[in-house]
């Protein structure tokens, strides 16, 4: 039986490449995100449109997330893997320059949205037969250490670690595994500025190495392909020479 996976933020970047990699690995992939046109572009890139479905959804809206899972259950009857990937950020700045609206923007997507989607996935995995499934949360190296001026993003990613740990514990009784992939400096639109220079802990501005996003996608497939008797609790995948170990 073909396993069903759901990828949030599947219209670009890590979400898009991970969705394509999951489809290539034999999963049926449900693509979700706010922009249906971007999701359809992801599906067209797969070259096997029947291995992907599109359900647009704003993960910050509870009613939209409830509708997503109703449609997914009606169409596919179960969910085996969730890649809880959708995320956003704002420019780096000290906390006193950050507006409440900017704070809420990041927290709403990175934490509230991740909670809503994990909640929906957990509920479906718990009641389906056979019971169980896997949730993979997209953390960040910011789940371990902050970058300068990154209050909302870093707070959200530290909270994702708490979500991962509690879902791992609460999921045991229902054969629901939960792991987290912490990513550092994968090449994307969000990290393009790293080529010209980003703030360092010592106040300097320096370029940082990046890595091909395909490595992240391959890592997600590896996590997703494990039997439920095994789990990668936390994986850090990063550009080898980026300033993370020994940062500051």
Query: Please, what is the Cα angle at 189 between 16 and 119, to 5 degrees?
Result: 45
Whole-number Å distance between alpha carbons of 213 and 12: 11
Whole-number Å distance between alpha carbons of 131 and 215: 30
Whole-number Å distance between alpha carbons of 223 and 240: 20
Beta bridge partners of 206: 198
**125 backbone dihedrals φ, ψ, rounded to 5°:** -65, -35
* Residue 206: Cβ within 10 Å count: 12
Whole-number Å distance between alpha carbons of 173 and 175: 6
Q: Which residues are identified as catalytic?
A: 153
Q: Return the residue matching tokens 């708490």.
A: 162
Whole-number Å distance between alpha carbons of 34 and 114: 14
Q: Provide the H-helix boundaries in 97-174.
A: 100-107, 114-127, 151-171
Report residue 182 as tokens. 């912490």
What's the Rg (C-alpha) of the chain? 18
Q: Parallel, antiparallel, or unpaired for β 205-206 and 198-199?
A: antiparallel
Report residue 52 as tokens. 């992907």
């Amino acid at each position: 039986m073909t396993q069903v996976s759901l990828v949030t933020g599947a219209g670009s970047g890590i979400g898009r490449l991970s969705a394509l990699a999951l489809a290539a690995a034999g999963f049926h992939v449900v693509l979700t995100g706010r922009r249906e046109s971007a999701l359809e572009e992801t599906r067209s890139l797969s070259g096997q449109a029947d291995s992907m479905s599109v359900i647009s959804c704003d993960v910050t809206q509870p009613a939209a997330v409830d509708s997503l899972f109703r449609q997914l259950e009606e169409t596919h009857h179960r969910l085996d893997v969730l890649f809880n990937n959708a995320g956003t950020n704002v420019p780096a700045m000290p906390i006193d320059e950050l507006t409440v609206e900017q704070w809420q923007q990041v927290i709403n997507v990175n934490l509230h949205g991740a909670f809503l989607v994990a909640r929906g996935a957990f509920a479906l995995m718990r009641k389906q037969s056979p019971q169980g499934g896997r949730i993979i949360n997209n953390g960040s190296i910011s789940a371990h250490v902050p970058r300068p001026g990154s209050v909302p993003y870093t707070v959200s990613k530290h909270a994702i670690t708490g979500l991962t740990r509690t879902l791992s514990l609460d999921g045991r009784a229902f054969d629901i595994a939960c792991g987290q992939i912490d990513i550092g400096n994968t090449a994307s639109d969000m990290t393009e500025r790293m080529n010209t220079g980003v703030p360092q802990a010592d106040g300097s501005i320096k370029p940082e190495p990046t890595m091909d996003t395909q490595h992240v996608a391959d890592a997600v497939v590896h996590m997703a392909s494990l039997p439920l008797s095994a789990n990668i609790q936390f994986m850090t995948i990063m550009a080898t020479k980026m300033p993370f170990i020994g940062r500051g």
